[in-house]
Structure 1
């Protein structure tokens, strides 16, 4: 049976000024809007899966994906929970959590590209920390070139969003040769799979990771929501079989390891 994307919000395409897209009031220059900082834990997905990591999750996003699993960092209704912090304050919390022992800091969201993260990266790099950032590739920033890993995760048709190929290419150009750049695409159904193939055809030199979609993203107000693990694993098996049958050997299929271990619990 071919999996189908979940019903729900159909989303819409959104492009323009980052503050307008985030639909939250602008902050003073250099201030980062933080949804949560947690860890150390393991990176649960993609090229850094299993790596010890501290997560800095920013608040605000220029997309509204139908199946978003971090609405507490996306929906402006939760902006009262987002804390405006300086780069120095964020960095102090990272150092506290990591015990001053350098590891990987994952910058996520929402869309972290909305935030002024360059100074934070500069502070961390000076202390020997590594930085990874995941974004849908809608907003390019010059500080991408200071990252160690840039994860571009363009959203497939099931998200309800429209891909801007030029914006994705601009993100790659902004990163240059400095960080390791990879593609990671969530796949719910055949249309998403076709989208992943099309993305790879445009960027054949970038390593691509495929990830089965989570059936049951948690409500924003719930810290530990139930998960349909059978549904997730059915999609995982279908995706593996599909890639192997098509002999698409350039793609790598990985689960969300943190979902398999902790379900949809936040802060792990």
Structure 2
């Protein structure tokens, strides 16, 4: 189900009038480990707070209100300064993640950062549309499938896509709006059927499929940091076979490469 956080109140949709961004962590430089930008050098700005609670969430520290005391309210200037410290001032792709970063007031950060040569990507589930989506360089929308135990709102997803394309009329053009990708986590056949249904609602937008990392983030005694790599690899192989069998030749099947390399470690 969708989870509204009663502890966040107005903060859930923008921190009232404070304009502060609730930050869970800022880390990098590293590389994007999944989706259409896989392998691209980036700094992650992970926000705190989410309007969903996925059953297999691997970033509960940025979702669960129990961690709210660890989330630091920061201005756009402060966030950008932290990124500059990590890159010695060199412009880089900034990936806005969460939680759900769409609940945060990120417009000023994007505007200011782009003036200084930074580019911006966001990863969101497509439940909340913001007008500043149109200012992004990359918009990855990841509708949550049945295995996440959340609900899907087709109108909300459409509103997010419309917000990104506002004023240009040219879908998915990086010259007149963000490059949009639909990214679907897939755990089983029901998830794959969901992904196929939703992508057909928005033809022309590139689609990535990736196997779900269902293992909790707590370290295991065997030292694998809570990741069943054999199981994750098996799900990837299954997904490749299903895509071939169903002739879904207009999608990309990608692993969560950072999970294979670093497990569920934070800050990488």
What is the TM-score normalised by the length of structure 2?
0.90
Number of aligned positions between the proteins: 254
Which residue of the other structure, out of 159, 167, 172, is the alignment partner of 2:161? 172
Deviation at 1:26, TM superposition (A): 4.3
Aligned pairs for 1:195-214 (under 5 A) are 195-214=194-213
Q: 1:18·1:62 contact (CA, 8 Å) conserved in 2?
A: no
Q: Residue 126 of structure 2 contacts residue 160 of structure 2 at CA under 8 Å; is this kept in 1?
A: yes
1:185-264 residue pairs with structure 2 within 5 A? Answer: 185-219=184-218, 225-264=225-264
Cα distance in 1, alignment partners of residues 256 and 142 from structure 2: 14
Matched, 1:70 2:59: yes
Structure 1 Cα separation of the partners of residues 146 and 90 of structure 2: 41
Alpha-carbon offset, residue 217 of structure 1: 3.1
Cα shift at 1:103: 1.2
Match of 2:40 in 1: 51
Flag as ranges the 4+ runs of structure 1 deviating above 6 A. Answer: 15-18, 21-25
Give the conservation status (yes or no) of the 8 Å contact 1:14–1:21: no
Cα distance in 2, alignment partners of residues 52 and 78 from structure 1: 28
Query: Alpha carbon RMSD of aligned pairs, Å?
Result: 2.2
2:208 and 2:156 mapped to 1: Cα distance? 20
Q: Tell me how far apart the structure 1 counterparts of residues 193 and 10 of structure 2 sit (CA, whole Å).
A: 28
- Report whether the alignment pairs 1:146 with 2:145: no
Shift of 1:16: 10
Name which of structure 1's ranges 188-197 and 19-28 shifts more when overlaid on structure 2.
Answer: 19-28
Name the SS for the 1:48 alignment partner: coil
TM-score, structure 1 as length reference: 0.90
Structure with higher RCO (Cα < 8 A, 6+ apart):
1
Relative to structure 1, the CA distance from residue 188 to residue 159 in structure 2 (aligned partners, 3 Å threshold; closer, same or farther) is: same
Distance 1:216 1:16 in 2: 24
Q: How many Å separate the matches in 2 of 1:29 and 1:43?
A: 30
Residue deviations 1:205-255, cap 9 Å, x none? 1100001000313149xxx83210000000000000000111110111000
Equivalent in 2, 5, 22 of residue 33 of structure 1: 22
Provide the rounded CA distance (Å) in 2 between the counterparts of 1:141 and 1:106.
16
Please list every run of 5 or more consecutive structure 2 residues that lacks an aligned counterpart in the other structure.
171-176
